Structure formats: structure tokens, C-alpha cells
């Protein structure tokens, strides 16, 4: 799973490079002799051609005289048809021509009119371009071309501009906003429907996140956002009673349509087509299954808009749409970031989802051969009120599937909850549809079977089927969403959900309540005072996160003593008697152990407190903070402050903001020392800076202690390390976020940091190497540079939050002896070299495994997770656990920072025994092909 994701990320980057070669090897160039020919009209029976659908075209032209037909030729894009050869493999286009003449040019009825028939076949010899190899190449051929019949003798050509597309409705990102504007303009003269465009923000590269609201009128939008939704979240029982009594009156609910993987292109284009139809047409007719027969159904659009508000998030990843990549510009798959929200795109979009709280949520993807429409297999995230979601989601999936196959050539679809046993679960809220379910939405990931005209038609059909279902069942569906909110507000842990939470044997196990009456606590308490909070800046960021995601947060107005603990004024609390308690709990609770399942789709541990590294307390006393707190709407991040008037300040190595500050100080040429021994109020690994320098850096959080002198403390002067990163884009992003200077070449680096399989022992002389995860473990093992080092693993992608014992060392500065560390590598270190220093081991306690999915995790109990080895001319540090997984494991960032700083600032990289010599066989991989095949990747 996690390993395969890394492989695929690297493969995609490699294929993009190959695409450039393909473009160079297969250029569209003009025949010189035809450029200045006299041009006459070429009449064509069609002007639009497809890469996924063979089409014929009848052409005719009148040159005004009789010409020798044996000397004419057809050209496309200035090239002879014989040069337009089919793709064969890789980036090669050496097959037979994909455009051919099937009826030769001939005169008609003794006139000077010439007719002929051409066939535009399939450039890739297939009507499905979803292969990742082809998916990175085909877009270079989309565009307008000149189709011409050329007579070289008379220097005339009959020409017509035609378009070649992958399917008829495909749009590049740059065409999206003009298309939206055109629909807005056309709608002005057709109807009074309300259309509103918003940019939700900018992508990593500065492109707009285009978002459109379509409603009956502005009053419908205002009523929903200002009346209906606030009441639903505060007093859902009032709306439930009105619906039951038939007194709800006129109301609309949102249907959100989404695409987050931009190379799964139908997701954007199907939205555009739906947007056009519902904005401009009075009626929309499509086929679906009624009484077991395919029949046409007509939606009256005005009546539809009496029930729904459409929200179109055409693409959450505009940079990826432009680059034709799955990942955003920072290398992140955004469909794995809806819970972590480390990327600007997911922050903006999830905030808007929270604002609207849609009833129905469609996330349009590709490409699963079975035409897949969720809901999913178990295990299900226990924070969903599954009994109130499941039946309606099944029904809506049928409605979407029936419309999808009725409007395409497909004859079947699959619903994982019914057709799969396991392996397509919704345990993680990483996916956009799963994230929406935490807001009470009917969340569906839809996987069209093919990148083709047919795939587009099926996806378009699902949007129509979903709309039909919502309009026919609006009251029933909304009542269930209101019941979800009601349970939250009333603090109900309804046992009706338990039958949906099963183990791998199919037994109902319910929510994991332990000895508690309820799965949910009454409150989460997030202290921010120095005595109770180990990381105030991360704690406050969590509050900001919750507020952004629609969760209510309060702050104590006076000191409050609860369960024997006194919380000072200003402590943040999250009351769990609220409509969106499921979302709050999904991000804050420890997590579950689902290791009994043999297949899981993605890592499931979210647990912000432990993975971001801040203190949180559960309170299970009802009304413990009644009249002691008030709601907050925003939270301001704390900043550091120098203490006293001493010339120097000791900055505790306790948070990532301090690392960022140190790197900026170094970048600006300021003096920074690092303590290499513990003495008095200085701990090994703390930073010492000049007090006067701190005054210029007001936006960072740090914990400072004044120091008159450090002459009696052993320190090393730091310089800004130059870091070369190999492996994942996420690792590179994390190191960049910490403020380190990145260089492109290992030759120019002080330290090489890698979570990939690239390892050249000969390049390490005078440098340090930090290896993270199973790829790096394997690469170093195969090199033979560390005799006595061995590792083992179960399967890449196995994850766990583990209780560990952390040894005192300069590289573990700032960490406690007992820490929770996280891994998605399924690996551990079984032996270390004699001279190595062990940094961390897995606890020997029976409860060492806290949460995750790791079949066979018992083997890691008591094993080594990290060690460092000094060599005469280098240093190697290996971590079996993750330090920068998807930029979420920020509590482990300082292990990374400590290791990087050690390369230039302390004696760790300067002393040791032995030297770097490559003793291994690079081809003798401990981790063979099966190592790569055990993971899977959701489209």
C-alpha cells in the first residue's frame, strides 16, 4: 500500500519524462511545400474526432478544374497520413497509420467536385486510455488540426480545421473558466436561475479553485445557509418534527459533485456537462432502469431546483489537471489528505464542504474495470452513524449505476458493500467522500471503467441518477441526516450502529467502548498552558483545524477543576454534544486495531494529538464545563518571547516552529549553537541564540530561557545544512517546510535524506545519510556497508501506532523516554552493528500496539526501530518508522531535524569506527518483486 504508492509516484514522474521524448520523437510539423498553397474550402461531414472512438468522415472539395487525382494526398496537421502512426509500446509510435483513406478521392457526376472518405481509427489501438503509461501521453495530441486535400501540381489545397479530442467533452484546465463564463452568459437570456462563481482559493502553484453554485434563486441559497443549516446543526429536532408533520414547506438541500484526481479526467468533464444541462435546459432526459427495464426519464429542471442546490467543485487539483498528474504540485495525492489537510487545496475545499454540509456527495474517479460505485466494504470508520447512512447509500448507488449503464455501453456495475468481501473500506477519512460522510453526507466514490467516450457517458449518467434519487427521496434522506446531527447533540451512542461494525470473521463487534458507556467522551480538553501542554503551537493549530472543519470549540472563562485536574482560564475544550462530533472524534481519538483483516485500502490512524505531538485529555463527566466556558470563533497561534535581559537565550528543542526559526536565523547569517551535553537548565540538543537576534523574528513559537553565558556548556556552532532528498515528494515537502536548504545533487549536500531505494555508499564520504522506511533499510542492507545490520518485515503498507522506548541521545533530543511512534512500513530492525547506538525500540509491554492495520505485528514487539552508526568518514542513521508520512507525522519531524543538524553541527558525524565501503551486490535485493506487489492503490 504505502510502498506501492511511492513506486507509482516515482513511475509517474519517470513516465512524464518519457512523454517529453515522445513529443520530440513524434512532432506535429507542417509540410513546407503546402504552407503557402492557395486554400479552398474542404467540406467535411464532421469536424470532431476522438482518440477513443473510431469515426469516418466524408470530405468533398471543388478545385475549380480537373486535376490528376493520382498526385493528390491527404494531410493532417501538415503531415502525410502515413506519418500518423499508432502507438506500439512505451513512448513509441511505430505502428500502422491510424488515419486511412477508405474511399479514394474521385469525381462526382462529371463535375470538378472531388469526394473521398477517411477513417480516423484509434491512435492507441484501444478505446480505453486508462493505462498509466498512455494516460501520461495522450493529451499531447488533443487540439485543432488542419485536414487538407493537397494538389502539389496546382499548389492548391482544400482545407478545413478539425479537432482531435480524447472524447468529445474533454476540457483542459485553461478552458474551464471560459466555459463557466459562457454558461453564465447564456443563462442570462434563458431563465432566472441563480448562478454564482467563487474561487475557493489558490492552488500550490497559484491557480484558482473554480467553484460554482447553481440554485433556483439566491433566496434558496440564503435560506439554506442562514436558516435551514444553522437550525439543523443546533436544533435538528425542530426540523424533524416539521418534516413529519408535513410543515417543512419549501426547502432545498445541497448536492456536491467533486473531482480530486485530475488525471481521472471524466470527473471534471462530466460535471461541466451536468452544469450546462441544469443551468441552461428546461428538461433533461436520460435513460435508467425502471421496473427492471431501461426507460427514458425526464427531469424538469425547475422542479429539481425546488429540491436541490448544486455545488460543482470541478477539480480540487488544478495544478494536476494542467500537468496531467494525479498529485498536486507538491507531489501529494490530495485524496489522501482530506483528513490531514497539509495541502492548501484540501484546506480550502474541506472548509467549503464543512460550510455547506451537503446531503449527497459524489466524488468522480476512474478507472476500475467493474464500474464501481460506493458504499464500501467493512471495516467502517466507527465515527460514522452507519445505520443512518447505509441503506440510503445503497439505494443511491443503485440509482447511479442504473443510469450509468443505461447511458453508456456498459451493462453492469459493482457496489463494493454488496459485491466485495474486503479491501475497499471506508475506515480512513482520507478520501473526499469519506470525509463528507463525517458531515452526515451520503458519500460516494465513483470509479468509471475507462478513460473514453464510454467512460464519460457512464459518469455523466451517474450524476443524473444521483439527482433523480435525491429529488424523489428528499424528505427521507434529510430526516436521516438530521437524525445524525440529533444523536450528536443529545450525546447518543445508539447501539443500532453496532451491527455494521464487524470483524474479519463477520461478527458484529460494535464500537470499541472499553469500559465506557459511550464510545464518545463528553469533552476533549486541549490545554495551552505551559504546565499541561507539551506543544502549545500544535494544540492551537488543532483548534484552528476543528473550527475550519465546522466543529464547535469553547474556551474556559475561569479555572475549572474536573476529575481532579484544574484547567486554567483559556483552556480549549471540544464539547462532544454537538452535531459534528463524529468528525471531531475521528481526528482526535486514538484509533482502532483492525489487524484481523487481510486487506485494507489505506492507513487508518489519524490521531492528531499523537502524530502531531500535543497533549489532549478525555473528560467523561457530563456538563463538566457548564457555565465555565464560551464558544470561540478563531484561535491565534502563540508566539515565543525572550526571557530576561541576558545576552543569550536557550531555545528548548520541543517543537517544529523552533526548528524553522533556527533555520531562518542560520539563513540570515545569525549565530546559532547547539548544546551537545546536558548541563543545568540546558539539555543536549537545545539551541542557543543571541537575545538581540530573536527580536526580529516575531512569528515563531519557541520556549526560551535566558542564559548569561554558555562558556561552561559544551556546544557546537551550527551552519545551515545542505540537504539532498531522494525518494518521496512528501519527504522533500516536509524537509522544505522545516526550513532546510535543499540541493539537487548529493555531491553538493552535507546530508542525504531518503525514504527511497537509492543508495550509493561511495557518495557518502564526508556526509551523513538518514534512511527512513523499508526502501532505505533494504538499500543500506544490500550495500554491505554495515556488517551486523539486519532487518525484517511483514508487508509494506502495514501500519501501526506503537509504544516505544526512546534512548537518550543527541538525535532524540526533545523526546521523552516513552513515546508513541508511527510506521506504515511494516518493518523493523533485527540486529545492529556492534558500534551502533540504538535510538528507539518498540516496547516489550503486551499493549505495545495501539492502533492500525498490521497483521502479524506481534513480531515487532521489543524490536529496534532506529539506530545510528558513526563511521570514520560518514554517519548512517536508519529509521524503520515514518518521520514524514504525508506530512502528518509532525511529532517525528524533530528526529529528522536532529539527524540533519548532526551532519554539520555536532560530533555525531565526525567520530566513528570503520569507513564507508560498498561491500554488497546491488542486484541482490533482500526485498524482491513480491515486496512491490503486496500493496495496492485506490484510484
CA distance 702 to 719: 20
Query: What is the number of structural domains in the chain?
Result: 5
**pLDDT in the model for residue 566:** 97
Q: Are residues 777 and 886 in the same domain?
A: yes
Task: Assess if residue 173 is contained within a domain.
Answer: no
Q: Are residues 886 and 863 in the same domain?
A: yes
Domain end call among 693, 717, 741 = 717
Q: Are residues 683 and 766 in the same domain?
A: no
**pLDDT in the model for residue 905:** 57
Domain end call among 130, 165, 200 = 165
Task: Assess if residue 617 is contained within a domain.
Answer: yes
Task: Assess if residue 428 is contained within a domain.
Answer: no
**Residues 645/570, Cβ–Cβ less than 8 Å:** no
Comparing CA positions, the residue from 865, 885, 606 lying closest to residue 734 is 885
Residue 924: is its pLDDT beyond 50? no
Find the mean pLDDT for residues 174-185: 98
Q: List residues bridging with 829 in a β-sheet.
A: 791, 864
- 611 DSSP assignment: I
**pLDDT in the model for residue 886:** 98
**pLDDT in the model for residue 908:** 41
pLDDT tier at 36, thresholds 50, 70, 90:
confident
**pLDDT in the model for residue 712:** 77
Q: Are residues 712 and 747 in the same domain?
A: no
Residue 928: is its pLDDT beyond 60? no
Q: Are residues 356 and 485 in the same domain?
A: yes
Residue 224: is its pLDDT beyond 90? yes
Q: Which set of grid coordinates corresponds to residue 6?
A: 511511492
**pLDDT in the model for residue 678:** 87
**Residues 325/15, Cβ–Cβ less than 8 Å:** no
Query: 379-435, pLDDT tens digit by residue?
Result: 999 999 999 999 999 999 999 999 999 999 999 999 999 999 999 999 999 999 999
Query: 717-741, pLDDT tens digit by residue?
Result: 999 999 999 999 999 999 999 999 9
Please give the mean pLDDT across all residues of the chain.
92
Residue 911: is its pLDDT beyond 70? no
The dihedral over CA atoms of 249, 475, 440, 618, expressed in degrees to the nearest 10, equals: 70
Q: Cell 467512460 appears where? A: 455
Comparing CA positions, the residue from 714, 707, 703, 658 lying closest to residue 681 is 707
Domain end call among 134, 165, 196 = 165
Q: Residue 461: enclosing H or E segment and its boundaries?
A: helix 453-472
**pLDDT in the model for residue 1:** 34
Parallel, antiparallel, or unpaired: how do β-strands 751-754 and 442-448 relate? unpaired
Contacts of 813 (CB under 8 A, 6+ apart): 653, 683, 684, 685, 686, 894, 898
CA distance 43 to 552: 65
Task: Assess if residue 282 is contained within a domain.
Answer: yes
Q: Are residues 699 and 756 in the same domain?
A: no
**pLDDT in the model for residue 23:** 39
CA distance 386 to 388: 5
**Residues 571/592, Cβ–Cβ less than 8 Å:** no
Find the mean pLDDT for residues 743-767: 94
Residue 13: is its pLDDT beyond 70? no
Query: 470-484, pLDDT tens digit by residue?
Result: 999 999 999 999 999
Q: Are residues 696 and 739 in the same domain?
A: no
CA distance 935 to 272: 34
The boundaries of the domain holding residue 33 are 19-165
Task: Assess if residue 1 is contained within a domain.
Answer: no
pLDDT tier at 930, thresholds 50, 70, 90:
very low
Residue 569: is its pLDDT beyond 50? yes
Q: Are residues 817 and 904 in the same domain?
A: yes
Find the mean pLDDT for residues 219-223: 98
How long, in residues, is the chain?
Answer: 939
Rounded (10°) angle between helices 581-588 and 474-490: 60
CA distance 403 to 916: 64
Q: Are residues 802 and 862 in the same domain?
A: yes
Residue 912: is its pLDDT beyond 70? no
Find the mean pLDDT for residues 755-761: 94
- 437 DSSP assignment: H
Q: Which set of grid coordinates corresponds to residue 505?
A: 470473521
The alpha carbon of 278 is separated from its chain's Cα centroid by a whole number of angstroms, namely 29
Q: Where are the beta strands (DSSP E) in 457-587?
A: 523-526, 553-556, 560-562, 565-567, 572-575
**pLDDT in the model for residue 592:** 98
Task: Assess if residue 568 is contained within a domain.
Answer: yes
Comparing CA positions, the residue from 393, 136, 432 lying closest to residue 256 is 432
Find the mean pLDDT for residues 447-461: 97
Parallel, antiparallel, or unpaired: how do β-strands 55-62 and 113-120 relate? antiparallel
Q: Which set of grid coordinates corresponds to residue 39?
A: 486554400
Task: Assess if residue 475 is contained within a domain.
Answer: yes
**pLDDT in the model for residue 913:** 40
CATH number at residue 347: 3.40.630.10
**Residues 169/273, Cβ–Cβ less than 8 Å:** yes
Query: 238-251, pLDDT tens digit by residue?
Result: 999 999 999 999 99
**pLDDT in the model for residue 5:** 35
pLDDT tier at 907, thresholds 50, 70, 90:
very low
Tell me the DSSP string of 395-427. Answer: HHHHHHHHHHHHTSS----B-HHHH-SSSSEE-
Q: Are residues 738 and 865 in the same domain?
A: yes
Query: 276-303, pLDDT tens digit by residue?
Result: 999 999 999 999 999 999 999 999 999 9
Residue 921: is its pLDDT beyond 50? no
Q: Are residues 703 and 590 in the same domain?
A: no
**pLDDT in the model for residue 645:** 85
Residue 600: is its pLDDT beyond 70? yes
CATH number at residue 63: 2.60.40.10
pLDDT tier at 906, thresholds 50, 70, 90:
very low
Q: Cell 434563486 appears where? A: 217
**Residues 743/722, Cβ–Cβ less than 8 Å:** yes
Task: Give percent of the chain above pLDDT 70.
Answer: 92
Residue 198: is its pLDDT beyond 50? yes
CA distance 386 to 498: 9
- Helices and strands, number each (H, E), in the chain: 24, 45
Task: Assess if residue 176 is contained within a domain.
Answer: no
CA distance 146 to 129: 24
Q: Are residues 38 and 117 in the same domain?
A: yes
* Three-class HEC string of 203-269: CCCCCEEEEEEEECCHHHHHHHHHHHHHHHHHCHHHHHHHHHCCCCCCCCEEEEEECCCCCCCHHHH
Amino acid at each position: 500500500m504505502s510502498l506501492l504508492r511511492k513506486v507509482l509516484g516515482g513511475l509517474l514522474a519517470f513516465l512524464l519524462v518519457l512523454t517529453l521524448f515522445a513529443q520530440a520523437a513524434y512532432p506535429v510539423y507542417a509540410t513546407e511545400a503546402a504552407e503557402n498553397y492557395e486554400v479552398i474550402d474542404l467540406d467535411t461531414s464532421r469536424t470532431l474526432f476522438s482518440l477513443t472512438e473510431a469515426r469516418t468522415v466524408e470530405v468533398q472539395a471543388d478545385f475549380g478544374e480537373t486535376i490528376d487525382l493520382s498526385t493528390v494526398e491527404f494531410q493532417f496537421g501538415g503531415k502525410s497520413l502515413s506519418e500518423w502512426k499508432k502507438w506500439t509500446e512505451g513512448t513509441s509510435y511505430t505502428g500502422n497509420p491510424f488515419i486511412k483513406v477508405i474511399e479514394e478521392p474521385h469525381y462526382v457526376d462529371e463535375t470538378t467536385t472531388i469526394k473521398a472518405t477517411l477513417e480516423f481509427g484509434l491512435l492507441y489501438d484501444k478505446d480505453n486510455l486508462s493505462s498509466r503509461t498512455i494516460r501520461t501521453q495522450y493529451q499531447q495530441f488533443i487540439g485543432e488540426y488542419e485536414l487538407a486535400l493537397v494538389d502539389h501540381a496546382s499548389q492548391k489545397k482544400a482545407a478545413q480545421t478539425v479537432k482531435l479530442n480524447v472524447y468529445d467533452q474533454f476540457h483542459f484546465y485553461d478552458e474551464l473558466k471560459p466555459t463557466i463564463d459562457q454558461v453564465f452568459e447564456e443563462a442570462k437570456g434563458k431563465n432566472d436561475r441563480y448562478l454564482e462563481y467563487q474561487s475557493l482559493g489558490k492552488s500550490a502553484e497559484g491557480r484558482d479553485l473554480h467553484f460554482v453554485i447553481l440554485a433556483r434563486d439566491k433566496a434558496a441559497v440564503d435560506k439554506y445557509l442562514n436558516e435551514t443549516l444553522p437550525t439543523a446543526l443546533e436544533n435538528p429536532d425542530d426540523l424533524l418534527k416539521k418534516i413529519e408533520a408535513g410543515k417543512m414547506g419549501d426547502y432545498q438541500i445541497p448536492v456536491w459533485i467533486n473531482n480530486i484526481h485530475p488525471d481521472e479526467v471524466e470527473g471534471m468533464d462530466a460535471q461541466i456537462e451536468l452544469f450546462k444541462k441544469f443551468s441552461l435546459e428546461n428538461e433533461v432526459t436520460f435513460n435508467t432502469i425502471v421496473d427492471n427495464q431501461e426507460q427514458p426519464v425526464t427531469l424538469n429542471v425547475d422542479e429539481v431546483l425546488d429540491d436541490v442546490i448544486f455545488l460543482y467543485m470541478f477539480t480540487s487539483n488544478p495544478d494536476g489537471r494542467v500537468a496531467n498528474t494525479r498529485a498536486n504540485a507538491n507531489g501529494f495525492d490530495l485524496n489522501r489528505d482530506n483528513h490531514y489537510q497539509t495541502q492548501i487545496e484540501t484546506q480550502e475545499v474541506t472548509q467549503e464542504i464543512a460550510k455547506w454540509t451537503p446531503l449527497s456527495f459524489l466524488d468522480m474517479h476512474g478507472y476500475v474495470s467493474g464500474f464501481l460505485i460506493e458504499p464500501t466494504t467493512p471495516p467502517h470508520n466507527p465515527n460514522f452513524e452507519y445505520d443512518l447512512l447505509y441503506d440510503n447509500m445503497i439505494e443511491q448507488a443503485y440509482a447511479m449505476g442504473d443510469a450509468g449503464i443505461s447511458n453508456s455501453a456498459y451493462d453492469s456495475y459493482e457496489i463494493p458493500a454488496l459485491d466485495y468481501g474486503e479491501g475497499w473500506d471506508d475506515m480512513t477519512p482520507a478520501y473526499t467522500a469519506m470525509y463528507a460522510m463525517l458531515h452526515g453526507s451520503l458519500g460516494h466514490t465513483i470509479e468509471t471503467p475507462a478513460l473514453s467516450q464510454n467512460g464519460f457517458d457512464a459518469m455523466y449518467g451517474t450524476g443524473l441518477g444521483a439527482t433523480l434519487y435525491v429529488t424523489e427521496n428528499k424528505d427521507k434522506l434529510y430526516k436521516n441526516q438530521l437524525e445524525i446531527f440529533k444523536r450528536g447533540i443529545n450525546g447518543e451512542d445508539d447501539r443500532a450502529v453496532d451491527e455494521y461494525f464487524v470483524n474479519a470473521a463477520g461478527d458484529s463487534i460494535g464500537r470499541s467502548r472499553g469500559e465506557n458507556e459511550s464510545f464518545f467522551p463528553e469533552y476533549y480538553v486541549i490545554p495551552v498552558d505551559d504546565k499541561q501542554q507539551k506543544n502549545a503551537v500544535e494544540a492551537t493549530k488543532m483548534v484552528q483545524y476543528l473550527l475550519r472543519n465546522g466543529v464547535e470549540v469553547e474556551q474556559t472563562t475561569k479555572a475549572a477543576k474536573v476529575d481532579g485536574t484544574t484547567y486554567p482560564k483559556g483552556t480549549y475544550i471540544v464539547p462532544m454534544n454537538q452535531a459534528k462530533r463524529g468528525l471531531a472524534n475521528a481526528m482526535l481519538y486514538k484509533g482502532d486495531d483492525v489487524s484481523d483483516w487481510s486487506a485494507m485500502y489505506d492507513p487508518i490512524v489519524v490521531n492528531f494529538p499523537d502524530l502531531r505531538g500535543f497533549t489532549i485529555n478525555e473528560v467523561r463527566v457530563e456538563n463538566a464545563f457548564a457555565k465555565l466556558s464560551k464558544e470561540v470563533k478563531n484561535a491565534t497561534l502563540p508566539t515565543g518571547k525572550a526571557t530576561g535581559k541576558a545576552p543569550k537565550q536557550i531555545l528548548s528543542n520541543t517543537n517544529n516552529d523552533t526548528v524553522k526559526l533556527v533555520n531562518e536565523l542560520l539563513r540570515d547569517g545569525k549565530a546559532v549553537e547547539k548544546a551537545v551535553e546536558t548541563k543545568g537548565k540546558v539539555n543536549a540538543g537545545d539551541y542557543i541564540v543571541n537575545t538581540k537576534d530573536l527580536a526580529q523574528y516575531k512569528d515563531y513559537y519557541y520556549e526560551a530561557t535566558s542564559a548569561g553565558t554558555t562558556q561552561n556548556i559544551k556546544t557546537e556552532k551550527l551552519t545551515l545544512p545542505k540537504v539532498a532528498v531522494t525518494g518521496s515528494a512528501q519527504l522533500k515537502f516536509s524537509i522544505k517546510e522545516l526550513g532546510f536548504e535543499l540541493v539537487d545533487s548529493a555531491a553538493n549536500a552535507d546530508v542525504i535524506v531518503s525514504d527511497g531505494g537509492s543508495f550509493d555508499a561511495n557518495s557518502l564520504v564526508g556526509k551523513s545519510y538518514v534512511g527512513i522506511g523499508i526502501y532505505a533499510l533494504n538499500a543500506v542492507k544490500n550495500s554491505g556497508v554495515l556488517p551486523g545490520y539486519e532487518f525484517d518485515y511483514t508487508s509494506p503498507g502495514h501500519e501501526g501506532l506503537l509504544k516505544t522506548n526512546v534512548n537518550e541521545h543527541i538525535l532524540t533530543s526533545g523526546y521523552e523516554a516513552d513515546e508513541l511512534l508511527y510506521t506504515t512500513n511494516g518493518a523493523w530492525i533485527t540486529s545492529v552493528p556492534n558500534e551502533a547506538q540504538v535510538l528507539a525500540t518498540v516496547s516489550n509491554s503486551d499493549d505495545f500496539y495501539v492502533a492500525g492495520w498490521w497483521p502479524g505485528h506481534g513480531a515487532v514487539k521489543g524490536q529496534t526501530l532506529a539506530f545510528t552508526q558513526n563511521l570514520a568518514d560518514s554517519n548512517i542513521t536508519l529509521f524503520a518508522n515514518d518521520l514524514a508520512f504525508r506530512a502528518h507525522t509532525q511529532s517525528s519531524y524533530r528526529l529528522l531535524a536532529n539527524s540533519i543538524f548532526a551532519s554539520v553541527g555536532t560530533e555525531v558525524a565526525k567520530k566513528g569506527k570503520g569507513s564507508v565501503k560498498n561491500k554488497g551486490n546491488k542486484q541482490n535485493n533482500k526485498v524482491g518483486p513480491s515486496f512491490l506487489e503486496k500493496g495496492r492503490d485506490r484510484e
